[in-house]
Amino acid sequence: MHHSFTLVVGSALCCLVAAPAHAGPVLYATSYYSNNAYAVNSDGSTTVFGATIGHASGIALDSAGNVYVGSETSNAIYKFTSTGTLIGTFTTDHLNAPTGMAFDSTGKLFVANGDSGEINEYSSSGAFLGTFATVPIGSNGLLHGLLIDPTGNVYVTDILSGGTGNLIKYNSAGTVLATTTTGLSYPGQIARDSLGNLYVSNAGGDHIVKFDSLLNSLGNFASGTGANNYGVAYDAATNTFYQGTFGPSGNPSGPIQRFDANGSSLGFVAADQTTAYFLAVARTEVPAPVPEPSTLIGSLVMCGMFGAALGYKRLQGQTAV
């Protein structure tokens, strides 16, 4: 972790006091109707990425913090630096309205293709590595969210004809381990907390639904989030959740709502944006805490006292016979 340091002089001793590191983006989001992606900064402002992305959809981060964004209209994936500079674009085999995306522990990119029902694997440079699984989506269905847990299990949401939906769990070999078919209406993105619980943004039901790792429903986590909300993400550093609005929210406070670990609203961010389809938490360092004034003053006093004592001791040594 990088810190800046302030030099404090006290007699013969210098004290170093850590100051907070510069905070970068805390969250990334895609805007389907604005055809772009953007970063949400720590102060709530946003920085729009430097490329037009037709119907921007899924979003994922690799281990280096690079950001990958899917385009449903061009069937392409755009790769950006963490600050939004375009690195490259790949249009490769089997991309068909890419939606949910996630990297596994080996660096492979898994992509849920909304219109074909395929979950495909790619290298970080876009090379097609094979089809992981094919999900039946029905005549008007859509494969949507995708998440990979630390053991390699893959979770996807499947919107069926009429808006009902499934949450499906696969092992790392592509074998179905569990499926839930109740309580979901237009399910979207999936998030996972540090305990292994899953959270599905239920766009048709005005809430986030919570499941355990076996896909047993644990009820509604947060309600009143607004209709048409497909995006959800979990920030382990702050133990908080974000949910985004697919269509124009009409909320002057922003299209992304933040929740604490109990599902209580902490307000909105990204006031200068209108939509947030998919979300991804940024890979950033947590700044060091700023010392309280009383603690800082106490430290400076101690530094000064120690420096004075050291100077006195040295003076004694110089005058001794």
Round to whole Å and give the CA distance between 68 and 88: 10
Nearest partner of 302 among 6, 8, 20, judged by Cα: 8
User: In whole angstroms, what separates CA 317 from the centre of its chain?
Assistant: 60
Position 261 in a domain: yes
Give me the domain span that covers residue 241.
25-281
Per-residue pLDDT in tens (0 to 9) along the chain, 321 residues: 333 323 333 333 233 333 233 357 899 999 999 999 999 998 889 999 989 999 999 999 999 999 999 999 999 999 999 999 999 999 878 899 999 999 999 999 999 998 888 999 999 889 999 999 988 766 456 889 999 999 999 999 998 877 888 999 999 999 999 999 778 999 999 999 999 999 999 988 888 999 999 999 999 999 877 668 899 999 999 999 999 988 776 677 889 999 999 999 999 999 999 899 999 999 654 433 444 444 434 443 444 444 444 444 444 444 443
Domain for residue 18, yes or no?
no
Which residues fall within 8 angstroms of residue 293, CB to CB, at 6 or more apart? none
Please give the full DSSP string across 70-87, using - where no structure is assigned.
EETTTTEEEEE-TTS-EE
Identify whether the C-beta of residue 100 lies closer than 8 Å to the C-beta of residue 91.
no
When divided into structural domains, the chain yields a total of 1
Report yes or no on 321 lying in a domain.
no
Q: CB 29: neighbour CB atoms within 10 A?
A: 29
CB 279 within 8 A of CB 232: yes
For residue 38, being part of any structural domain is answered with yes
* 137 strand-pairing partners: none
Q: Is residue 296 part of a domain?
A: no
Does residue 292 belong to any structural domain of this protein? no
Which residue type occupies 184? Answer: L
Q: Which of 120, 121, 112, 122 is nearest to 166 (CA)?
A: 112
- Comparing CA positions, the residue from 47, 51, 41, 48 lying closest to residue 71 is 51
Question: Per the structure block, which two tokens stand in for 11?
Answer: 């007699």
Instruction: Say what the pLDDT of residue 227 is.
Output: 66
Q: What pLDDT, on the 0 to 100 scale, is given for residue 91? A: 86
pLDDT at 302: 44
Dihedral angle sign, alpha carbons of residues 235, 282, 158, 34: positive
pTM (global) more than 0.85: no
Minimal CA–CA distance to 242: which of 251, 252, 230, 250?
Answer: 230
Question: Which residues are within 8 A (CB) of 305 and not within 5 positions of it... i.e. 6 or more apart?
Answer: none
Q: Which CATH number belongs to the domain containing residue 146 in this structure?
A: 2.120.10.30
155 domain-assigned: yes
Query: Considering the domain boundaries, does residue 271 fall inside one?
Result: yes
pLDDT of residue 262: 96
Q: What is the pLDDT of residue 256?
A: 93
Query: Whose structure tokens read 């805490």?
Result: 289
3-state SS, 124-137, equals CCCCEEEEEEECCC
Place of tokens 């999900």: 135
Chain center to CA of 2: 22
Radius of gyration of the chain (CA): 24
Residues 77 and 93: beta-carbon distance below 8 Å: no
